Chain A
Amino acid sequence: MRRPALLDDPKRELWLAWYATIAFYTLYTVVFFIITRTQPPGKAWYTPTQVVGWFASRHEGLLIGFGLIFILGGLSATSIALITYSIRRMSVSRVFAYSYLIIYAVSAVPGFLFICVAMTVGAFRPGRDPEILRWIYDLGFLSFSGTMGVFLIGSLIWMVAILLDKNRVFPAWFGYLNLCNALTEVVVAPSWIFHTGVFAWNGVIAWWINVVVFGLYTGAFIFLLRNMILREDFGTGPLPDLLPPEGRGRMLAEFMSP
């Protein structure tokens, strides 16, 4: 029986993670921008009655779209794992890699699970008191945009790692782009304060400009992760399963292990 080529590729784990990353971000974009239409976000200045209308106009979209995230949202871990791996390949302490991993792993709950739960709760029981519905609406959007510190510190950690790295796993310009991305988390802070205007969670500065920077940043790192995998050289040595049984893949595992 012939095995598919991917399974014999020494980089198969990296490619799987990379394609899963692509799949995740595609799903994310489709769900947030098309199915649920929660991006661009609803208006921060909506009255309770308008919030009722907002939920009514996308009832099915919210429930189906966020249902998809409930099923596959955990794939976000693949990009985090790839980035952690990239930091492990750099000539810096493992502290950077582990800090990045744990920060982004934790950020998933307030960063995107909360909005999914809030919008699902808001949509699934029509006829709720409009004031309560607006409370849910605020919870959804503010937890999503307003989870700031994890991405701020996470980007800075990645930046420092890239700038210190002597293996040139990532180009320095991307290190600086991390700083730009971290600063967007500063710029989004006023959305906790304003209901209207450019600094509200749907405002020109707090949302539109930030989302452009974040989009460029995400696109850049997905592209650069691909380059990293392409450049990765595992050689043509024997796969671990061909090592003597007592080795049990340990040699390689230890070499690669934290």
Chain B
Amino acid sequence: MTTTERAVSPVPEQSPSEHVPGGRDIWFFVLFESLAFTAYFCVYLFNRTQHEQVFLLGQSHLLLWLGVLETIVLLTSSWAVASCVQDARAGRYDASKREALLTAGFGALFLVLKVIEWVRLIHAGHTFTSSEFFQYFFFLTVIHCIHLLIGFVVLGVLWYQLSDQKRRSQPTVEICATYWHSVDFFWVLIFALLYVVR
């Protein structure tokens, strides 16, 4: 352990156990929105058990590897924004800005993959109204993508904060990152429930 390593420790230097990343308010959002998603998931899982064959049949039209790829892309963007927060905290704003761009890039890649997946499914005749499974599939993926699009606005705020010395505020950077991570873990849950659950 070198001294530099301690400086970049994920725990901020000022009182370590007092620091709520991004402040409490954004955590209210994260927890509230996870409850809303959990409610959607519960409805999905319950109906799934009632019409198992329909859901299994619908699921067989998904490409699991594409879902895994999307997951990894989004996890990577999350990693990038986590590094961005730490670099910003350590004052390495150039690295921080680079990582913010990387985050947006992986986010955009996720979106492109998602659109390709939708187009492929729609061409194969699987739409929002075609079967019960695809109702949930399109509902959950679209509502998630709306969160992602809001995430791009949030990343814009992050960029705006980092790009000017006078504006740089670490709490705002953390708020933006916390939002982006929540979009990431909503996807982790959606992915498991739509693609893997049997």
Contacts and interface: CB of A to CB of B under 8 A. Distances in A.
Q: Do chains A and B touch in the complex (CB under 8 A)?
A: yes
Contact of A180 (B24, B33, B129, B146): B33
A193 B40 contact: no
Dominant SS among interface residues on chain B = helix
A176 B29 contact: yes
Interface string B124-157: 0000110010010001000100110010000000
Contacts of A171: 25
A190 B128 CA distance: 9
A212 B40 CA distance: 13
Contacts of A194: 129, 135
Contacts of B135: 190, 194, 197-199
A187 B143 contact: yes
A139 interface: no
A23 interface: no
A221 to B, nearest CB: 14
B139 A199 contact: yes
A173 B24 contact: yes
A190 B26 contact: no
B29 A198 contact: no
B38 to A, nearest CB: 10
Interface string A175-210: 111011001001100100110011100001100010
Contact of B29 (A180, A186, A193, A204): A180
Interface string B14-39: 00000000011110110011001001
Interface residues of A, number: 22
A197 B39 contact: no
A176 B34 CA distance: 13
Given A186-B146, A193-B128, A205 B26 contact: no
B36 A209 contact: yes
A177 B32 CA distance: 8
Interface bracket on B:
20 to 34
A176 B25 contact: yes
Given A172-B23, A198-B135, 14 more contacts: A173-B26, A176-B28, A176-B29, A180-B29, A180-B32, A183-B146, A187-B139, A190-B128, A194-B135, A198-B43, A198-B47, A199-B139, A205-B43, A205-B139
Nearest to A184: B36
B39 A209 contact: yes
Contacts of A197: 132, 135
B143 A176 contact: no
B41 to A, nearest CB: 11
Contacts of A172: 23, 25-26
Nearest to A171: B25
14 contacts: A171-B25, A172-B25, A172-B26, A173-B26, A176-B25, A177-B29, A186-B143, A187-B139, A190-B128, A198-B47, A198-B135, A205-B139, A209-B39, A213-B36
Nearest to A213: B36
B36 A180 contact: yes
A57 to B, nearest CB: 28
